[in-house]
Amino acid sequence: DGSTLTDSGYPRVVKSWKRGTPVEEAVTVFEGEKTDIAAHMYAFHDRGFVHEFQLRSITFYTSKYFYRSLTPEGISGTTADEETTPFKEVPIPEDAELDVFADMAMITLRSDYEPSEGIAFKAGSLVTL
C-alpha cells in the first residue's frame, strides 16, 4: 500500500525484528516523514565503542541525525525495540555530514556553523568533538 515508503519511494519506517518470529510481529522503532527522501537506522562497533544512529534523509543534501551510545554487551543483549537508552538529536546543521572515529564525532560542514556564541566554523571545515 506504500504507507511505509516516502514520497520518493524509499523506506521511511524502521522495524526491529527477531529472527524466527513472524515478520508481522516486527516493532516500529523509528519513522521518517513521508516527505523525507528516506529513513535509516544503523549500529556499529568502532575501536571499542558502539554507536547507534537514526537518520532522516530530508533531501539528498540535508539530514537529521539522532544518536545513542551503547556498550558491546548492551547491543548484543537486546533488540532495538527493547533498548532503553534514548536517542538524542545531534545539534548540527542539517546540511552537515556526521561520522565517528572511536569516541569522537567528525562533522563536515557545507555551511558556516556557530554552535555557541564566540565559536564559529566556516563551510568546508572538518570539526571533531
Euclidean distance between CA atoms 30 and 80, whole angstroms: 10
Confidence of residue 113 (pLDDT cuts 50, 70, 90): very high
**Mean per-residue pLDDT of the chain:** 94
Cell of 5: 515508503
Euclidean distance between CA atoms 50 and 92, whole angstroms: 21
pLDDT digits (tens, 9 = 90+) for 86-96: 999 999 999 99
| 3-class DSSP state of 58 | coil
Percentage above 70 pLDDT, the chain: 100
pLDDT digits (tens, 9 = 90+) for 4-48: 999 999 999 999 998 999 999 999 999 999 999 999 999 999 999
> What phi and psi, each to the nearest 5 degrees, are found at residue 51?
-115, 140
Of 98, 55, 89, 52, which is closest to residue 71 (Cα–Cα)?
52
User: Would you say residue 70 has pLDDT above 80?
Assistant: yes
pTM summary value: 0.91
Euclidean distance between CA atoms 94 and 96, whole angstroms: 6
